[in-house]
Amino acid sequence: MAEVFIKKYWEEDGVLFYIHFNDGVAVRQIEISSTGTKYLSVAKPVNEESILYDQSLDQLSIEDKDLIAQEDFELIWKQE
C-alpha cells in the first residue's frame, strides 16, 4: 500500500490543494481558497461545488516540490 501526500497550488483557480493518495487513488483532500477551507474524503467526496479528485495519481502532473510528509498533511487535516 503506497501512500503519497501532495501539496499543490492551482494558480488558475486560486486554490491550494492537499491530497492524500493511497495506491494511486485520492482518499482525502483539503482545498484552501479565499472562500474558505473544504475537507473531502472517500466517506464525504462532495462539499458544495468541490469534489474529491477522481483521477489517478499518475494523471496528476507533480514535481518533487509538491510531495510532502504525512505529518504535514495531518497537521492541516486535524484543523477540520
- Number of independent structural domains in the chain: 1
More confident residue, 1 or 63: 63
Nearest to 1 by CA among 62, 52, 70: 70
Find all residues with CB under 8 Å of 37, minimum gap 6, and list them: 30, 31, 79
Residue 61 within any structural domain of the chain: yes
pLDDT of 55 reads 93
Residue 76 within any structural domain of the chain: no
Q: How confident is the model at residue 79 (pLDDT cuts 50, 70, 90)?
A: confident
Residue 75 within any structural domain of the chain: no
Residue 79 within any structural domain of the chain: no
pLDDT of 1 reads 60
pLDDT in tens, 15-64: 999 999 999 999 999 999 999 999 999 999 999 999 999 999 989 888 99
Q: Which residues span the domain enclosing 25?
A: 3-69
